[in-house]
Amino acid sequence: MRAVDALMECLKAEGVDVVFGYPGGANLPTYDAFVDAGIHHVLVRHEAGGGHAAEGYAKVTGKVGVSFGTSGPGATNLVTPIVDAMMDSVPVVFFTGQVRTDLLGTDGFQEADTIGITMPAVKHSFMITDPRELPRIIHEAFHIARTGRPGPVLIDLPMDLSKADIAYERVTDVHLPGYQPRTTGNAKQIKQAARALAAARRPIIYAGGGVVAAGAADELRDLVRTGKFPITCTLMGLGAYPAPDEQWVGMLGMHGTRAANYAMDEADLICAVGARFDDRITGKLSEFAPRAKFIHIDVDPAEISKNIPAHIPIVGDAKQILGKLVDEYRALETDAGRLDPWWQRIHTWQERHPLTYEPGDGHEIKPQSVIEAIYRVTGGDAIVCSDVGQHQMWAAQYYHFPEPRRWVNSGGLGTMGFGLPAAIGAQMGDPERTTVVVTGDGSIQMNIQELATIKQENLPIKVVVLNNGYLGMVRQWQELFWQERYSHVDMNTFGGEEASPDFVKLADAYGIRGVRLTEAASLEDDLRAAFEAEGPAFIDVRVTRDEKVYPMIAPGEPARNMVG
């Protein structure tokens, strides 16, 4: 059979049920194979949309997402999702078309050095040079994407080789001598970590996206409840521990709660699980958690001691390690009462500094209140896909995620335009669950063409734009740190107060029901009506224009100096 037909067989063998892509000249053979393959291919409207959709699918299902694009511009359009998947450790296999082998290196039509361009941003990549190797390489790609610290893998397939006739035999194992991710943590280190937790007077568990990726939420909850430890999660880790909850102190970092950040600051022991001490978490690194010792659990050895030297490093799969850690900790029969003074201190912070905002004048809609209304309307049970900006932070602060894989956002790269296409993948991965996009009037316009894909696939996605007529997050920084010198952040191109474009008309043009909400008093009822109506909805909510996200660790400041 043709190599591309074998490709389809390999996808089926990997259990792939849906892929996202866009055709072109160099991948014509692949698209010909789709005709008879019986694989659900979703035609997106921009390759980046396809890449992000594959990410959304992967984030919600935990399975490997698959994305296709042609050579040259198709491949370069995939660069953003590839980097995004790398930063957030999302398992996606990207297939790019490539020019014929005799044209390689000659600047042929639509030739781009895809392998070279993407090399620093992939977990691994393969250039196909022998079509007989394609099946084995596909399975290796899935294996690499899915295991260890997940990430993007790219396969570049020259046009002529994709048409070549090969003898296909199902591949049942992969052999990668240079790739053996460690899964079981060192038993002695785990014991040591249990003893440290038992000895700590001011411990805190700091969980990141790695807990979600490892499927370790149950084990995490077990540890937290057993030890009566306070728990905080990163932006990527939301849902790893069920919120709200007595022991949940909220998200930490730049826009986290004061309780979480102060607890990190005063802790004597921080147990980091699947988190990487990124600068949005630590604030000023040299003043981060000055009194703390660190247990660091991560599947990627290179993360350990990268930013913060660990005292007890444990490399391996968080699920296995946390499971053993709970057992070791239980065996010590420690009295949780020793943490009472610590909890009192945390409760004081929580009472003194709850997440809050100034109420509006009764008519204006406060952006935070929109998230609270979405939370109530969906019973806290939705998948929330976010774009990047203020709305993202408000969604993270005011929607409480009871389960992992419900919160889909671009945390590491901060990619505007991620939310809408990611929701397509998310909804297809979990078709029964209400899927909401929380976005801004800036971000939505970066991939708004995917409304056509939503219509085409008839996906009941609810898009909620917190429309402030600004690139709000940039505006906030200009206001706070650049002496209110506003530079190119006003999106109201029609001038004055009139926001643009007219999203209701735009949604209508795509065949999607659009509504505009401007009145606080009826906000929740209006939202409910829009959510309950069948099919997709586009909800343009006019919110307070100059609202700011608080509290905040100003750039370069330590956490204890939070403002707002």
Ligand X SMILES: Cc1ncc(C[n+]2csc(CCOP(=O)(O)OP(=O)(O)O)c2C)c(N)n1
Using CB under 8 A, list all residues that contact another protein: 115-116, 119-120, 123-124, 127, 129, 144, 176-179, 192, 195-196, 198-200, 268-269, 293-294, 300-302, 304-306, 309-313, 332-335, 338
Name the 3-class secondary structure at 458. coil
Q: By CB under 6 A, name the one of 470, 503, 510, 531 that touches ligand X.
A: 470
Strand order through the sheet with 435-440? 407-408, 383-386, 435-440, 462-467, 537-542, 513-517
Whole-angstrom Cα distance, residue 193 to residue 78?
41
As measured in angstroms, the least distance from the Cβ of 326 to another protein is: 17
Name the 3-class secondary structure at 249. strand
Tokens of 27: 């991948």
Q: Which is nearer to ligand X, 318 or 473 (CB)?
A: 473
Whole-angstrom Cα distance, residue 26 to residue 11?
20
Residue 380: Cβ within 10 Å count:
17
Q: Is residue 387 within the footprint of ligand X (CB under 6 A)?
A: yes
Whole-angstrom Cα distance, residue 102 to residue 79?
25
Q: Which is nearer to another protein, 301 or 564 (CB)?
A: 301
Tokens of 196: 């440290």
Q: Is residue 480 within the footprint of ligand X (CB under 6 A)?
A: no
Instruction: Report the partner that residue 200 touches, choosing among another protein, ligand X, none (CB closer than 5 to 8 A by kind).
Output: another protein
As measured in angstroms, the least distance from the Cβ of 441 to ligand X is: 5
Instruction: Report the partner that residue 390 touches, choosing among another protein, ligand X, none (CB closer than 5 to 8 A by kind).
Output: ligand X
Q: By CB under 6 A, name the one of 415, 453, 478, 544 that touches ligand X.
A: 415
Spatial CA neighbour of 401 closest among 248, 193, 216: 248
Name the 3-class secondary structure at 335. coil
Q: Is residue 539 within the footprint of ligand X (CB under 6 A)?
A: no
As measured in angstroms, the least distance from the Cβ of 315 to another protein is: 10
Q: Is residue 472 within the footprint of ligand X (CB under 6 A)?
A: yes
Site size for ligand X, by CB under 6 A? 19
Segment interacting with ligand X (CB under 6 A) among 3-11, 201-209, 298-306, 409-417:
409-417
Q: Is residue 551 within the footprint of ligand X (CB under 6 A)?
A: no
Structural contact between residues 171 and 9, judged by C-beta atoms closer than 8 angstroms: no
Q: Is residue 254 within the footprint of ligand X (CB under 6 A)?
A: no
Tokens of 301: 């050895």
Instruction: Report the partner that residue 431 touches, choosing among another protein, ligand X, none (CB closer than 5 to 8 A by kind).
Output: none
As measured in angstroms, the least distance from the Cβ of 392 to ligand X is: 7
As measured in angstroms, the least distance from the Cβ of 83 to ligand X is: 11
Q: Which is nearer to ligand X, 424 or 466 (CB)?
A: 466
Q: By CB under 6 A, name the one of 468, 506, 540, 544 that touches ligand X.
A: 468
As measured in angstroms, the least distance from the Cβ of 390 to ligand X is: 4
Q: Which is nearer to ligand X, 234 or 468 (CB)?
A: 468
As measured in angstroms, the least distance from the Cβ of 107 to ligand X is: 28
Whole-angstrom Cα distance, residue 423 to residue 406?
11
Residues sharing a CB contact under 8 Å with residue 214, sequence separation 6 or more, in sequence order:
274, 299, 317, 318, 319
Spatial CA neighbour of 325 closest among 177, 224, 444: 224
204 DSSP β-pair partners = 270
Q: Which is nearer to another protein, 304 or 326 (CB)?
A: 304
Segment interacting with ligand X (CB under 6 A) among 130-138, 236-244, 289-297, 463-471:
463-471
Q: Which is nearer to ligand X, 267 or 355 (CB)?
A: 355
Q: Is residue 283 within the footprint of ligand X (CB under 6 A)?
A: no
Instruction: Report the partner that residue 415 touches, choosing among ligand X, another protein, none (CB closer than 5 to 8 A by kind).
Output: ligand X
Whole-angstrom Cα distance, residue 144 to residue 152?
9
Q: What is the 3-state secondary structure (H, E, C) of 257-271?
A: CHHHHHHHHHCCEEE
Segment interacting with ligand X (CB under 6 A) among 293-301, 324-332, 435-443, 529-537:
435-443
Spatial CA neighbour of 11 closest among 60, 56, 67: 67
Question: Any idea what the Cα angle at residue 35 is, between residues 29 and 40, rounded to 5°?
Answer: 110
What is the residue type of 331?
A
Tokens of 288: 């981060």
Question: Any idea what the Cα angle at residue 220 is, between residues 257 and 354, rounded to 5°?
Answer: 15
Q: By CB under 6 A, name the one of 388, 437, 461, 506 that touches ligand X.
A: 388
Q: Is residue 443 within the footprint of ligand X (CB under 6 A)?
A: yes
Query: What is the footprint of ligand X within residues 325-384 (CB under 6 A)?
Result: none
Residue 209: Cβ within 10 Å count:
27
Q: Which is nearer to another protein, 302 or 521 (CB)?
A: 302
Using a 10 angstrom Cβ sphere, with 0-12 exposed, 13-18 middle and 19 or more buried, the burial of residue 170 is exposed
Structural contact between residues 369 and 360, judged by C-beta atoms closer than 8 angstroms: yes
As measured in angstroms, the least distance from the Cβ of 189 to another protein is: 10
Q: By CB under 6 A, name the one of 18, 197, 231, 416 that touches ligand X.
A: 416
As measured in angstroms, the least distance from the Cβ of 18 to ligand X is: 26
Please give the radius of gyration of the chain, using alpha carbons only, rounded to the nearest integer.
24
Instruction: Report the partner that residue 473 touches, choosing among another protein, ligand X, none (CB closer than 5 to 8 A by kind).
Output: ligand X
Between the alpha carbon of residue 299 and those of residues 29, 271, 321, 322, 324, the distances in Å are 38, 15, 10, 12, 15
Tokens of 423: 């929701």
State the binding string over 88-127 for ligand X (x if CB under 6 A, else -). ----------------------------------------
Give first-to-last CA distance, the chain, whole Å.
64
Q: Is residue 474 within the footprint of ligand X (CB under 6 A)?
A: yes
Q: Which is nearer to another protein, 9 or 156 (CB)?
A: 156
Q: Is residue 257 within the footprint of ligand X (CB under 6 A)?
A: no
Using a 10 angstrom Cβ sphere, with 0-12 exposed, 13-18 middle and 19 or more buried, the burial of residue 123 is buried
Instruction: Report the partner that residue 440 touches, choosing among ligand X, another protein, none (CB closer than 5 to 8 A by kind).
Output: ligand X
Q: Are strands 231-233 and 248-251 parallel, antiparallel or unpaired?
A: parallel
Residues that bind ligand X (CB under 6 A): 387-391, 414-416, 440-443, 466, 468, 470-474
